Amino acid sequence: MSMGLADLLKGKKSRHEAAAATESGAGPSNATAVTEAQQAKKTEPSCQSNPLGNYIWDDVPDATKWADCVHCGLCLEACPTYQETGEEQNSPRGRVYLIKSVAEGKISVDEAFADPVFSCLDCRACETACPANVQVGGLIEEARGQINQAMPLSGVSGTFKKTVLNKFFPHQKRMHKLGGMMRFYQKSGLQKAARKTGVLNVMPDHLKDMEASLPEAGKPVLGRYPEVVPAEGEPKGRVAILTGCVMDLMFNDVNESTIRVLTHNGFEVGLPTDQGCCGALHIHAGERDTGKQLAKQNIEAFQDYDKILVNAAGCGCALQEYDELFRNDPEMLPLAKEFSEKVEDITKFLYDHDFKRPASEVNTTVTYHDACHLAHGQGVRSEPRQILNDIPGVKMVDLPDADRCCGSAGIYNLTHPEMAGKLLDRKIDDVPDNIDMISMGNPGCMMQIAMGVQKYGRSEKVVHTVQLLDWAYEKDKLKAHEYEL
**Of 171, 122, 181, which Cα lies nearest the Cα of 279?**
171
- Please report whether residue 73 would count as binding other proteins according to CB under 8 A: yes
How many amino acids of this chain bind other proteins (CB under 8 A)?
22
Helix (H, G, I), strand (E, B) or coil at 406: coil
Strands 394-396, 343-345: parallel, antiparallel or unpaired by DSSP? unpaired
What is the distance between the alpha carbons of residues 73 and 271, in angstroms, rounded to a whole number?
Answer: 44
Task: Identify which of residues 139 and 299 has a Cβ nearer to other proteins in the complex.
Answer: 139
Task: Identify which of residues 71 and 177 has a Cβ nearer to other proteins in the complex.
Answer: 71
- Please report whether residue 438 would count as binding other proteins according to CB under 8 A: no
What is the distance between the alpha carbons of residues 336 and 339, in angstroms, rounded to a whole number?
Answer: 5
Task: Identify which of residues 7 and 77 has a Cβ nearer to other proteins in the complex.
Answer: 77
Residue type (1 letter), 273: T
Stretch that binds other proteins, among 63-71, 222-230, 415-423, 477-485 (CB under 8 A): 63-71
Residue of the chain from 1, 18, 47, 72 that contacts other proteins (CB under 8 A): 72
Q: Burial code of 335-361, b = ≥16 C-beta within 10 A, e = fewer?
A: bbeebbebbbbbbbbbbebebbebebe
- Least Å distance, CB 368 to other proteins, is 20
Cβ proximity of 414 and 160 under 8 Å? yes
Residue of the chain from 131, 230, 334, 393 that contacts other proteins (CB under 8 A): 131
CA distances to 41, 82, 160, 265 from 157, rounded to whole Å, are 19, 22, 5, 43
What is the distance between the alpha carbons of residues 96 and 134, in angstroms, rounded to a whole number?
Answer: 9
- Please report whether residue 69 would count as binding other proteins according to CB under 8 A: yes
- Least Å distance, CB 66 to other proteins, is 9
Task: Identify which of residues 99 and 240 has a Cβ nearer to other proteins in the complex.
Answer: 99
Kindly give the residue spans of alpha helices, DSSP state H, lying in 379-430: 382-389, 412-415, 417-430
- Least Å distance, CB 405 to other proteins, is 17
What is the distance between the alpha carbons of residues 119 and 95, in angstroms, rounded to a whole number?
Answer: 10
Binding string to other proteins for residues 403 to 432, with x set by CB under 8 A, is what?
------------------------------
CA distances to 2, 129, 243, 327, 330 from 300, rounded to whole Å, are 11, 35, 15, 18, 17
Stretch that binds other proteins, among 28-36, 38-46, 84-92, 301-309 (CB under 8 A): 84-92
Cβ proximity of 139 and 69 under 8 Å? no
Residue of the chain from 68, 110, 115, 304 that contacts other proteins (CB under 8 A): 68
- Least Å distance, CB 101 to other proteins, is 13
Stretch that binds other proteins, among 106-114, 124-132, 145-153, 362-370 (CB under 8 A): 124-132
Task: Identify which of residues 128 and 213 has a Cβ nearer to other proteins in the complex.
Answer: 128
- Please report whether residue 67 would count as binding other proteins according to CB under 8 A: yes
- Please report whether residue 71 would count as binding other proteins according to CB under 8 A: yes
Residue of the chain from 60, 114, 125, 134 that contacts other proteins (CB under 8 A): 134
- Least Å distance, CB 99 to other proteins, is 15
- Least Å distance, CB 403 to other proteins, is 14
Task: Identify which of residues 15 and 71 has a Cβ nearer to other proteins in the complex.
Answer: 71
Stretch that binds other proteins, among 27-35, 126-134, 391-399, 448-456 (CB under 8 A): 126-134
Task: Identify which of residues 11 and 73 has a Cβ nearer to other proteins in the complex.
Answer: 73
Residue of the chain from 130, 147, 394, 414 that contacts other proteins (CB under 8 A): 130
Stretch that binds other proteins, among 123-131, 162-170, 347-355, 407-415 (CB under 8 A): 123-131
Residue of the chain from 1, 18, 40, 70 that contacts other proteins (CB under 8 A): 70
CA distances to 104, 164, 322, 407 from 96, rounded to whole Å, are 12, 29, 22, 21
Residue of the chain from 14, 22, 27, 77 that contacts other proteins (CB under 8 A): 77
**Of 123, 133, 150, which Cα lies nearest the Cα of 66?**
133
Task: Identify which of residues 132 and 359 has a Cβ nearer to other proteins in the complex.
Answer: 132
Q: Burial code of 24-33, b = ≥16 C-beta within 10 A, e = fewer?
A: beeebeebbb
**Of 91, 97, 88, 87, which Cα lies nearest the Cα of 65?**
97
What is the distance between the alpha carbons of residues 253 and 257, in angstroms, rounded to a whole number?
Answer: 6
Task: Identify which of residues 38 and 81 has a Cβ nearer to other proteins in the complex.
Answer: 81
Task: Identify which of residues 93 and 373 has a Cβ nearer to other proteins in the complex.
Answer: 93
- Please report whether residue 19 would count as binding other proteins according to CB under 8 A: no
Angle at 283 between CA 279 and CA 289, to 5 degrees: 85
Residue of the chain from 27, 51, 86, 392 that contacts other proteins (CB under 8 A): 86
Residue of the chain from 2, 133, 154, 363 that contacts other proteins (CB under 8 A): 133
What is the distance between the alpha carbons of residues 289 and 41, in angstroms, rounded to a whole number?
Answer: 11
What is the distance between the alpha carbons of residues 225 and 54, in angstroms, rounded to a whole number?
Answer: 50
DSSP helix, strand, coil percent of the chain (3-state; round to 5) = 55, 10, 35
Site residues (vs other proteins, CB under 8 A)? 67-78, 86-88, 93, 129-134
